[in-house]
A and B are shown apart, each in its own frame.
Chain A
Amino acid sequence: MSDAPLLEVRDLTKIFPVRHAGKRKELRALDGVSLDLHRGETLGLVGESGCGKSTLARSLLMLETPDSGSVRFDGVDPTTTKGADLLAFRRRVQMVFQDPFASLNARMSAGDIVSEPWRTHTGLHKTSRDRAARMSELLDLVGLRSSDAGKYPQEFSGGQRQRLGIARALALEPDVIVCDEPVSALDLSVQAQVLNLLNDLQQQLGVAYLFISHDLSVVRHVADRVVVMYLGRIIEQGETESTFERPQHPYTGALLSAAPSLDHERRREQIILSGEIPSPLDPPSGCRFRTRCWKATDVCATALPPLAVDPVDGGHTAECFHPLGSQEQELASSQAG
């Protein structure tokens, strides 16, 4: 890992204008999000539906233009680039989608799907012989056979389709792959195969992953660092181990406690939150989590919470007035011995 981050996000804010009950309102999908992604690392992105995970991913892919704040990729802000420079940026950041059934065109053969990106990025693999050779290599790399090139997506199983989606993302030799719930549509036994493949590819190619998932045991397995989002804000981030062992934000604690896991003790005390995630159209003042937080006090409603820093991992921070004590941390992670 080199020192300068590959991807640098600072104070990113994205607002969608919506009409709600006849009134114009602002939906703050992202509200001052900052994070770094280094070369060759896996950053886990965790949060419940509506927390802004997908908007963040789309902003990094330049599919959304931020309203304020900046994204820097290798020191350059892609929103200021045009034409060939923008195309070059797009080549370097690719995506693997959640649904391997919806994300592959049923009328294109596997070979066409994998080589399609080269029709846009014409600088790569110029001759058809080069392309055919590279396409075979890619299929081989993701564990498919080059003889599969003539098959259509519906002839593959779910796991094989996801391999195909990964091969397509790799066709442009990206530096970053945004994986949006890449294994959540797959059966458990197949999920393990795809996670292993992603891990092998990272070792071989040094690609960085932004790994979005709601499955905390998967994130814990693959991620070097983890970012937890709630209602458009990053409420906690840090090294994976530090964050899972010593969650500081009550929301992270509740999330860890609520997630079923074979790591937990079987009959355990659980932190069960009351209520559901509030509407992003009308987020609570001060700390956004205070309406569901069992530790909330008056101060949480009036001001934005300060950053609490983990005593061991200085990069592990949480936005909270009342970070969890060691007893609560133990309850949250409640590991079986």
Chain B
Amino acid sequence: MTTSTDETVALDVDGMSVDIRTPYGVVRAVDKVTFQARRGETLALLGESGCGKSMTATAVVGLLEPVADVTEGAVRITGESGTTDLRTASARRRRDIAGKELAIVFQDALTALNPVYTVGTQLAEPFRIHRGLSKKAARAEAIELMRRVGIPEPETRVDSYPHQFSGGMRQRLLIAIGVALSPAVLLADEPTTALDVTVQAQIMSLLKDLREERDMAVVLITHDLALVFEQADRVVVMYAGNVVEQGPVEDVFGAPKHPYTAGLLESVPVHAERGAELKSIGGSPPELAAIPAGCVYQDRCPIVRDRCREERPAAREVAPGHLSACHFPAEVNS
């Protein structure tokens, strides 16, 4: 895939690795992850718990815990102020970009919002800091933003505290803060996992509208295959810190070219086989400290060969824009 020449690429993660220092030594949580997100599209980072998808997002926004470091690769953001490599950028530049070009929406809205400030104060913050608006003007922007994300009676609710809102409304507030300055890239880390399905549908619909309206690249981090299927344009499948497959959702879900993706898709209960035995993936993912040499999926793979135990497969294009990190992509049958 072309990267640097494509003008619409807003987020370019290029061979990024994250290492965590533990009492038992350094473990690699994210291993040379590469993907791009373009303006106006929803890119899903899909994987099960511990696969490194949230760590990837946290590394991109620069909020890693002190024990974790980005040790190689580049993260480039392209917005109105040009392209910035976040790894080499100065702290001042990073601060400038935070919120304006790059924003994140977290899963747990109750911990992400500050309980001792009114939501109005928190919503006004981006306008105060980046645009230097007066208190009054920023408050007016905050009210407008609350109206935009569908919070009823924003004029009175602006002075309420986070605990006075329902879960769905709190998630709307977080999204409002995320999109306040129309960033080029919005990362959404499991934004609806804690919500009921009817509210999830509202939130996803809101995210989609905002994405179109503000021409953002939305990176949706989730473990929910069905949500990816319905909401995303392209998908990046992660396993044990590695990207194993990526491409357009129709291609990856329609004809998976990595045995892990195929196994995941077969584990979903679908209507056609009610009550029948579900296929499942035997075993469990490897410990981060003991990721085998060769392919990361070798211990659970139904088509594993000797080569897989020796050589880590590189991502190769199997169809236009569809990459698989498997030595034998042609043998994966969905």
> 0/1 per residue, B222-262, Cβ < 8 Å to A?
01111101110000000000000000011001000000000
**Most B C-beta atoms less than 10 A away, residue of A159, A189, A244, A277:** A189
Given A196-B277, A270-B205, A218 and B284 contact (CB-CB distance below 8 Å)? no
Inter-chain CA distance A189–B225, complex, in Å, is 11
- CB A267 to nearest CB in B, in angstroms, measures 8
Which residue of B has the minimal Cβ distance to A46?
A: B197
Q: Does B293 contact A (CB under 8 A)?
A: no
Which residue of A has the minimal Cβ distance to B50?
A: A187
Given A189-B281, A255-B198, A260-B224, A266 and B270 contact (CB-CB distance below 8 Å)? no
The answer to whether A189 and B48 touch across the interface, beta carbons within 8 angstroms, is yes
Which residues of chain A are within 8 angstroms of B224 by Cβ–Cβ distance? 260
The answer to whether B275 and A254 touch across the interface, beta carbons within 8 angstroms, is no
Q: Does A132 contact B (CB under 8 A)?
A: no
Which residue of A has the minimal Cβ distance to B166?
A: A276
The answer to whether B48 and A217 touch across the interface, beta carbons within 8 angstroms, is no
Interface residues of A in 212-263 (CB under 8 A from B): 214, 216-218, 220-222, 240-241, 244, 254-255, 257-263
Q: Does A48 contact B (CB under 8 A)?
A: yes
Q: Does B199 contact A (CB under 8 A)?
A: yes
- Chain B interface size band reads 35 or more
Inter-chain CA distance A268–B110, complex, in Å, is 32
- CB B294 to nearest CB in A, in angstroms, measures 21
The answer to whether B48 and A188 touch across the interface, beta carbons within 8 angstroms, is yes
Which residues of chain B are within 8 angstroms of A157 by Cβ–Cβ distance? 284
- CB B168 to nearest CB in A, in angstroms, measures 5
Q: Does B263 contact A (CB under 8 A)?
A: yes
The answer to whether B284 and A277 touch across the interface, beta carbons within 8 angstroms, is no
The answer to whether A260 and B230 touch across the interface, beta carbons within 8 angstroms, is yes
Which residue of A has the minimal Cβ distance to B229?
A: A262
The answer to whether B267 and A191 touch across the interface, beta carbons within 8 angstroms, is yes
Which residues of chain B are within 8 angstroms of A262 by Cβ–Cβ distance? 225-226, 229, 253, 265, 268, 270
The answer to whether B223 and A187 touch across the interface, beta carbons within 8 angstroms, is yes
**Most A C-beta atoms less than 10 A away, residue of B196, B224, B253:** B196
Interface residues of B in 98-150 (CB under 8 A from A): none
Q: Does B280 contact A (CB under 8 A)?
A: yes
Inter-chain CA distance A159–B280, complex, in Å, is 12
Given A255-B197, A276-B168, A221 and B274 contact (CB-CB distance below 8 Å)? yes
A258 touches which of B200, B229, B269, B270 (Cβ 8 Å):
B200
Which residues of chain A are within 8 angstroms of B200 by Cβ–Cβ distance? 258, 260
The answer to whether B267 and A192 touch across the interface, beta carbons within 8 angstroms, is yes
- CB A336 to nearest CB in B, in angstroms, measures 9
B275 touches which of A192, A221, A260, A272 (Cβ 8 Å):
A221
Given A187-B49, A188-B264, A335-B271, A48 and B197 contact (CB-CB distance below 8 Å)? yes
Which residue of A has the minimal Cβ distance to B283?
A: A189
Q: Does A264 contact B (CB under 8 A)?
A: yes
> 0/1 per residue, B144-173, Cβ < 8 Å to A?
000000000000000000000010110000
Which residues of chain A are within 8 angstroms of B226 by Cβ–Cβ distance? 217, 259-262, 264
Which residue of B has the minimal Cβ distance to A261?
A: B226
Inter-chain CA distance A261–B231, complex, in Å, is 11
- CB A293 to nearest CB in B, in angstroms, measures 12
- CB A228 to nearest CB in B, in angstroms, measures 12
The answer to whether B196 and A159 touch across the interface, beta carbons within 8 angstroms, is no
Which residue of A has the minimal Cβ distance to B284?
A: A157
Which residue of A has the minimal Cβ distance to B264?
A: A188
- CB A189 to nearest CB in B, in angstroms, measures 4
B199 touches which of A199, A222, A276 (Cβ 8 Å):
A276
Which residue of A has the minimal Cβ distance to B280?
A: A192
- CB B307 to nearest CB in A, in angstroms, measures 24
Q: Does A331 contact B (CB under 8 A)?
A: no
Q: Does A291 contact B (CB under 8 A)?
A: no
B271 touches which of A189, A263, A268 (Cβ 8 Å):
A263
Q: Does A296 contact B (CB under 8 A)?
A: no
- CB A220 to nearest CB in B, in angstroms, measures 6
Given A187-B223, A189-B281, A270-B205, A214 and B197 contact (CB-CB distance below 8 Å)? yes
Q: Does B279 contact A (CB under 8 A)?
A: yes
Q: Does B201 contact A (CB under 8 A)?
A: yes
Q: Does A193 contact B (CB under 8 A)?
A: yes
- CB B314 to nearest CB in A, in angstroms, measures 25
Which residues of chain B are within 8 angstroms of A274 by Cβ–Cβ distance? 202
B263 touches which of A189, A217, A263 (Cβ 8 Å):
A189
Which residue of A has the minimal Cβ distance to B281?
A: A189
The answer to whether A188 and B271 touch across the interface, beta carbons within 8 angstroms, is no
The answer to whether A270 and B280 touch across the interface, beta carbons within 8 angstroms, is no
Which residue of A has the minimal Cβ distance to B226?
A: A260
Given A49-B196, A277-B196, A217 and B229 contact (CB-CB distance below 8 Å)? no
A187 touches which of B48, B273, B277 (Cβ 8 Å):
B48
Q: Could you list 6 further interchain pairs (A-B, Cβ under 8 angstroms) beyond the known A196-B277, A222-B275? A: A216-B197, A217-B268, A262-B226, A266-B250, A272-B202, A276-B166
- 21 A-B pairs within 8 Å (CB atoms) are namely A48-B197, A189-B280, A190-B280, A190-B284, A192-B280, A196-B278, A217-B270, A217-B271, A218-B269, A221-B270, A255-B197, A258-B200, A258-B201, A262-B225, A262-B253, A262-B268, A264-B229, A266-B250, A273-B201, A274-B202, A276-B166
